[in-house]
Amino acid sequence: MKVCIAQLNYHLGNFESNFSKIKNAIIHAKEQKADLIVFSELAICGYYPIDLLEKKTFVENCDKYLKKIIDLSNNIGIIIGLPTINPSERGKKLFNSAAFIFNGELKKLVHKTLLPTYDIFDEYRHFEPNNVFELIEFNGEKIAITICEDIWDEQKVYGDFGKKTIYNNNPFDILAKLNPDFVINISASPFSYNQVNNRRNVLLDKSIKYSLPILYVNQVGANTDLIFDGGSLAVNSKRQIVLECKYFEEDIQIIDTSLFNSYLEVSGNRNRIEDIYSALTLGIKDYFAKSGFSKAVLGLSGGIDSAVTLAIAVDALGHENVMSILMPAKYSSDHSINDSIEMLKRTSSPYQIVNIENIRLELLNTLNEVFIGTKEDITEENIQARIRGTILMAFSNKFGNILLNTSNKSEFAVGYSTLYGDMNGALSILGDVYKTDVYKLANFINEKHNNIIPQNIINKAPSAELRPNQKDEDSLPPYEILDKILFSYIEKKLSKEEILGFDEETVNYVIKLVNNSEFKRFQAAPILRISSKAFGQGRKFPIVAKY
Amino acid sequence: MKVCIAQLNYHLGNFESNFSKIKNAIIHAKEQKADLIVFSELAICGYYPIDLLEKKTFVENCDKYLKKIIDLSNNIGIIIGLPTINPSERGKKLFNSAAFIFNGELKKLVHKTLLPTYDIFDEYRHFEPNNVFELIEFNGEKIAITICEDIWDEQKVYGDFGKKTIYNNNPFDILAKLNPDFVINISASPFSYNQVNNRRNVLLDKSIKYSLPILYVNQVGANTDLIFDGGSLAVNSKRQIVLECKYFEEDIQIIDTSLFNSYLEVSGNRNRIEDIYSALTLGIKDYFAKSGFSKAVLGLSGGIDSAVTLAIAVDALGHENVMSILMPAKYSSDHSINDSIEMLKRTSSPYQIVNIENIRLELLNTLNEVFIGTKEDITEENIQARIRGTILMAFSNKFGNILLNTSNKSEFAVGYSTLYGDMNGALSILGDVYKTDVYKLANFINEKHNNIIPQNIINKAPSAELRPNQKDEDSLPPYEILDKILFSYIEKKLSKEEILGFDEETVNYVIKLVNNSEFKRFQAAPILRISSKAFGQGRKFPIVAKY
């Protein structure tokens, strides 16, 4: 049987556009004489709609477009994901379903069994879990249909609570006992830099454990903060990859199931920094394309974060579409402007210089009477950041350029960023990238893009330049140490007692900074997610609490 | 049997402070010769800890303080809520439990069965549901212990999806069949203005349906955006209220279960506006007390929103602790300042006048070159709002006053507020109060507090005063109409086709404004929740999506 894997980029709630892509893929599959075409999880509406699922018209649209897809199913089997109404009087109102369609008929709806509720996932908010397990029969073969998490029954629990798995049942195990010829899994599995290998291993382990080939169909593209990387796979029953789709782009491939015995040489580990770069580029591209915007603006400071953001944005949107605003003030060093201009020459992207010194002086002058008798402190530093934020937003308002936030994960973590100042932005590009990884990204970008970032920007000591001779490391541990402590605390969820190998006082200080800045992160822009634990919807901590 | 209901105000993660309150209540109960004392859901750690539950030390602390409470249980039974570790190798790592303690022994752990995952709730993220149903025996009586949602099995599904309930089982029904003498429910049930009557009705309906008395123990106090209103209840088996604890304050009451046949005259419906006022006051008070702050700052514009915010803040924090900043500019009318000063006389609270005109001119002057050839538009309006936001934050940074946001729900809904401008603030007081209710609050405040808000502030037409002669109703429908459409769309979740009785174009326009401003609300301050559907964690819509 020839199966077409349709790895597409869906737009949440844009039924017409999604349908048009689905239709084209079906036409292509028919031309290629495919027997079956498989789309990803919730393909008809896009993943994840969150509370759009509470709108009746949204769910009705899913059904309406399902019918249009059924109309295209003459002589081809179609498997596609969508939410469907739970007909029972009890339970959550929807199922997360896969429709199996053939010759103008909806042959079967298969529902998702394992509903993830950790990190960014919240599927039990809307979906009832499945508890009926049957195979479908098609073209003389028996197929087990599973949906995303259904093959992740061994999903580990983070933290040392002694659990083997968070799930009480194992749909793969139940289905395998029904003796299918192969398994299909339709997914919407978001990227994180460790997920690619995880995912391959989960599929390979399952295939050998049950002696079953698996066809895994993922989606690609970004929806606000979540980036889907594609990389759909076919694995045979001998722990071998037979086919792998492209990463970070749409891909339609056809596999003949009689070839399940062959295999493909797949290079081992992927390049982590290259994957992050691709993910961030796709994240920007899709945020703009799916929102109907084309032009960005950012504040270019002469530091590495804004330089890396600029480089990625130029790749994503085109050099002519990324406006840089340079905003020197009293404490800005000359090299900040010179290095920025040198980079802008290399990117050939437009810029404006807006000196904020007069505004700063006028603000201080106006506040003079109110601040009488006080000393200069962080207030005056924040004022500079907020003037810059105001100018960037004024540019954004006036010309319709969308503001990109340039803060990195280390800063967000310890709260070294100014709320309503440099935290401004519609989308944070580096907010899930630790500073030490920002350097690695800079070097990768320079290798890939002909040294677009001046070496001086990479070499200089990090500074916010908000007071004379300020350096980040005056008040923070060196980033090599800081980032390791942060990773232990945030990604690995270790307590301060468990974070070993560092000065105890330093660990306590860093953790205190993280806990004390929940209120800032609560108001942060959406952050492109590239790690297993990004700030944002996947990490929920109370603001008013004793930590 | 004498049962003590301990309705206390807990501080998330502050084990020592919570324990101290719990201990004092136990001492009091012993003095009053109570046989049993009952605390609320997750009392030991506070409700809701969200991902603090993923920290091992947090869960260990719960256990550590449970042991301290066990040490206090000589001659008194104690029922108290806490998270406990699920000992199974499979499933979520924790249970949401009630510990039953007596004479130095943990007699039994009862776990929560129904885990809410709608609106603000996300309990399935961390907890495994219970499936074991047994009574406890104490002092010759058989008691069924339930936890919060366990008595809400008939929880309705919003929206017209044809469901009777979102739950598949009914722990109350199962427990009732074991013939208990009465039922205890420990809760952490957050306030919304329709919840008080809902809750009474759920308890009264259950009591008569099963012919069982119920003791319902709620918590009180606010945690960031969530406000718990107390109002713990004892109802007898004849649909009568026997005891009702205070609302919006701590209360410890003792009830003799032999009195279950008596009843109390409880006045019917509560005053909705008074309840909202009490909730908001408690919300401010606890945000400050639990964060260790005492002083607030806000921008006083001469409009009704900031006036109402000031009045509530003064009640919550004391008049000397609320600093108002008046920030006139070119388009401010004289009455804005005069009315504000008149109100400040009446509240006897401090203020500063900061004229922003020079800063505005300097900003426009600096941007002149960049904006050359463009027309004045919303950019210049936003600049004024952002200068004010910057000045308020400068004051906050310099003096440690926490900034209160003064935007109302109608504004947040349609995006008529400036991100990084008047959207600034650590806590939004009126962000869940529609403009028409803000007026009702103002009148209530004036009745209660001797006309503290000058009538002129209430009477004038709403205006942002960001351009000459601007009025809100120039670009929005009148608030009486706007708020009804918003309520239908947000609270009632109706689609535009289902919102009847208004001009179709107006409905479409309003809904478009709501959908297009998700990106703003994503970066909004936490909003004190007083309705069944507040903006914030309980309402999750994607930013990049086609609506």
* A20 touching B (Cβ < 8 Å): no
Q: Residue B182 belongs to a domain with what CATH number?
A: 3.60.110.10
Interface of A with B in 439-458 (CB under 8 A): none
Query: Of the candidates B208, B238, B270, which is a domain's last residue?
Result: B270
Q: What is the pLDDT of residues B288-317, one digit of tens each?
A: 999 999 999 999 999 999 999 999 999 999
Q: What pLDDT is attached to residue A468?
A: 86
The answer to whether residue A509 is domain-embedded is: no
The answer to whether residue A543 is domain-embedded is: no
Counted residue by residue, chain A has a size of 547
Look up B45 and say whether it is catalytic. Answer: no
Question: Do residue A462 and residue A334 come from a single domain?
Answer: yes
Question: Do residue B280 and residue B263 come from a single domain?
Answer: no
Q: Give the gap in angstroms from C-alpha B75 to the nearest C-alpha of chain A.
A: 32
Q: What pLDDT is attached to residue B276?
A: 98
- How far apart are the two ends of chain A, measured CA to CA in Å? 58
Query: Of the candidates A411, A441, A472, which is a domain's last residue?
Result: A472
* A117 touching B (Cβ < 8 Å): yes
Question: Do residue A252 and residue A109 come from a single domain?
Answer: yes
Q: What pLDDT is attached to residue A283?
A: 98
Q: Please state, rounded to an integer, the average pLDDT across all residues of chain B.
A: 95
Question: Do residue A338 and residue A360 come from a single domain?
Answer: yes
Question: Do residue A209 and residue A279 come from a single domain?
Answer: no
Q: What pLDDT is attached to residue A464?
A: 86
Contact B227, A544 (CB under 8 A): no
Question: Do residue B264 and residue B293 come from a single domain?
Answer: no
Query: How far is it, in rounded angstroms, from Cα B233 to Cα B420?
Result: 44
Q: What is the pLDDT of residues A431-474, one digit of tens each?
A: 999 999 999 999 999 999 999 999 999 999 888 888 888 888 88
Q: What is the pLDDT of residues A189-205, one digit of tens each?
A: 999 999 988 999 999 99
Question: Do residue A381 and residue A249 come from a single domain?
Answer: no
Q: Which of B4, B62, B108, B112 is catalytic?
A: B112
Question: A-B interface: how many C-beta pairs under 8 angstroms?
Answer: 282
Q: Range of B282's domain?
A: 276-472+518-522
Q: What is the pLDDT of residues A344-354, one digit of tens each?
A: 999 999 999 99
Q: What pLDDT is attached to residue B332?
A: 85
| pLDDT of residue A531 exceeding 90 | yes
From edge to edge, which strands make up the β-sheet containing A36-38? A105-111, A94-102, A77-85, A36-38, A2-7, A251-256
Question: Do residue A84 and residue A225 come from a single domain?
Answer: yes
Q: Phi/psi at B146 (nearest 5 deg)?
A: -130, 160
Which ipTM score applies to this complex? Answer: 0.96
Question: Do residue B34 and residue B50 come from a single domain?
Answer: yes
Query: How far is it, in rounded angstroms, from Cα A25 to Cα A8?
Result: 9
User: Alpha carbon of B145 to those of A189, B17, B150, B174: distances in Å?
Assistant: 40, 26, 9, 12
Task: Provide the sign of the torsion angle of the four alpha carbons B177, B178, B180, B184, taken in this order.
Answer: negative
Split into its structural domains, chain B has a count of 2
- Chain-chain contact of A48 with B542 (C-beta, under 8 angstroms): yes
Q: Which of B4, B45, B62, B148 is catalytic?
A: B148
* A376 touching B (Cβ < 8 Å): no
Q: What is the pLDDT of residues B119-173, one digit of tens each?
A: 999 999 999 999 999 999 999 999 999 999 999 998 776 655 667 788 988 999 9
- Chain-chain contact of A544 with B493 (C-beta, under 8 angstroms): no
Below-70 pLDDT ranges, chain B: 157-162, 267-268
Instruction: Point out the residue among B352, B362, B420 whose CB comes nearest to the CB of A358.
Output: B362
Q: Which tokens hold the place of A541?
A: 């901590």
Q: Give the gap in angstroms from C-alpha A352 to the nearest C-alpha of chain B.
A: 7
Measured CA angle at A367 (ends A365, A372), to 5 deg: 100
Measured CA angle at A329 (ends A324, A331), to 5 deg: 120
Query: How far is it, in rounded angstroms, from Cα B543 to Cα A345?
Result: 34
* B478 touching A (Cβ < 8 Å): no
* A52 touching B (Cβ < 8 Å): yes
* A398 touching B (Cβ < 8 Å): yes
Q: Residue A414 belongs to a domain with what CATH number?
A: 3.40.50.620
Tell me the pTM. 0.97
Q: What pLDDT is attached to residue B157?
A: 62
- Chain-chain contact of A394 with B378 (C-beta, under 8 angstroms): no
Query: Of the candidates A450, A472, A494, which is a domain's last residue?
Result: A472
Contact A482, A511 (CB under 8 A): no
Look up B33 and say whether it is catalytic. Answer: no
Q: Give the gap in angstroms from C-alpha A409 to the nearest C-alpha of chain B.
A: 17
Q: What pLDDT is attached to residue A160?
A: 57
Average pLDDT over residues A240-265: 92
Query: How far is it, in rounded angstroms, from Cα A491 to Cα A538?
Result: 11
* A478 touching B (Cβ < 8 Å): no
The answer to whether residue B400 is domain-embedded is: yes
Query: How far is it, in rounded angstroms, from Cα A277 to Cα A40?
Result: 24
Question: Do residue B352 and residue B238 come from a single domain?
Answer: no
Q: What pLDDT is attached to residue A368?
A: 95
Q: Give the gap in angstroms from C-alpha A400 to the nearest C-alpha of chain B.
A: 10
CB-CB neighbours of B208 under 10 Å: 15
Q: Which tokens hold the place of A341?
A: 């201009």
